[in-house]
Copies of this chain bind each other. A is one copy, B any other.
Amino acid sequence: MKIAVDAMGGDYAPANNIGGVKLALESLPSIDRLFLTGDKPAIEAELERQQVPTGKLEIVHTTEVVGMDESPAKAVRRKKDSSISVAVGLVKEGASDAVVSAGNTGAAVAAATLKLRNLPGVERAGIASALPSEHGVCNVIDVGANVDAKPRHLLQYAIMGAVYSRVIFGVENPKVGLMSVGSEEAKGNEFTRGVFSMLRGSGLNFVGNIEGHDLFESGIDVVVCDGFTGNVVLKSCEATANILMKWLKAELKKTPLRMAGAWIARNAFRTLKKRGSYETIGGSPLLGTNGTTIIAHGSSSPLAMMNAIRVAAESIEHRVNPHIEEEIAKLASPEKPTPAQEEAVHA
């Protein structure tokens, strides 16, 4: 398997990107080749510094980088030789099976959408982000690829999110919820009520509206929402977790006694940190394009980068895209019953 890594994207590039590559080489035997796109001298220096074995690596030199704050569409159109564009290009020409980037999310989405195009029948690609939950993970889709979504886009997100939940997380019949402001069908706004009726007739295991309260403890596997809502939810959850941990740390440092207690119980904090961290979950897939694109957190650590590469590898191994194509095709030809409808007929 071959994966292209945008070596220059992210807040701590190329150091953490190369750190992730090193970890991936050590722990993911299915990888045959990693393309590293970016400034060759900088990448080589970092490989040298971190003593990364280069046997499976291929550096593809690029002269440009899309900054974290640049306008994505413009940057992708203008900077033809940016590390993200070239990495996506490797997927397009078939040299690489997938691309991983921790850079400007909008640029990664724009490059993938423009170069790879969507899978047959898919109208808009969406980013699925996995939140840690009581029972495993809860995939929220879309978290920002499509901020002016139409209800039918969310129907497709539900289908793609359910496929991802099934083939990557092994959930047999994923529970799909619609992010809203109350559980009853009438709750929500005009937009979500339109999505609700589509999801009810979809053949998916649709459990109805859910609320922010249900993200972590209700056993929902897939939460669908427009990209604006999903992005705000994701960042608000992250901000809450960060501030709570910050305040807890400050409180624990206030007296020597508290510090002693915290030191004694330190393993509890370590485990909690690991459980709540995006580092261990890995990157978020952009679902719906004709290629595998994994978006890592902008401030990814080496571990987070490695896990994003792992998610890319798993997406290919478990054939996420062929499965999505199959399910989306059923939507286009409704005479073909969905698994749930078939079951109902045979029951």
Show the binding face of A for B, using Cβ within 8 Å.
69, 71, 106, 133-134, 144, 147-148, 179-184, 186, 188-190, 192, 211-217, 225-229, 231-245, 247-248, 251-252, 254-255, 257-269, 271-272, 275-276
Kindly state the separation between the CA atoms of A71 and B183 in the bound complex, as whole angstroms: 11
Contact of A247 among B189, B190, B215, B276 (CB under 8 A): B276
Partner among B211, B266, B276 whose Cβ is within 8 Å of the Cβ of A235 = B211
The reply to whether B229 and A212 form a contact with Cβ atoms under 8 Å apart is no
Q: Is the CB of A134 within 8 A of B261?
A: no
B-side contacts of A260, CB under 8 Å? 261, 264-265
Across chains A and B, which 3 residue pairs bring their CB atoms closest together, nearest first?
A212-B235, A261-B265, A261-B264
Decide: A251 near B272, CB < 8 A? Known: A241-B240, A257-B264, A260-B264. yes
**Are A244 and B232 in contact (CB-based, < 8 A)?**
no
A190–B237 touching, CB < 8 Å:
no
Q: Which residues of B contact A228 (CB under 8 A)?
A: 180-181, 188-189, 192, 229
The answer to whether A212 and B236 touch across the interface, beta carbons within 8 angstroms, is: yes
Partner of A243 from the list B216, B234, B254 (CB cut-off 8 Å) is B216
| Interface contact A184-B69, CB-CB below 8 Å | yes
Question: Complex formed: what's the CA distance from A190 to B254 in Å?
Answer: 46
Judge whether B186 and A71 touch: CB under 8 Å.
yes
**Given A216-B239, A272-B244, are A229 and B231 also a contact pair (CB < 8 Å)?**
no
B residues less than 8 Å from A254 (CB atoms): 268
A251 to B243, CA, bound (A): 19
CB of A242, distance to nearest CB on chain B (Å): 8
Q: Judging by beta carbons under 8 Å apart, are B257 and A265 in contact?
A: yes
CB-based nearest B residue for A251: B268
Chain B hits for A247, CB < 8 A: 272, 275-276
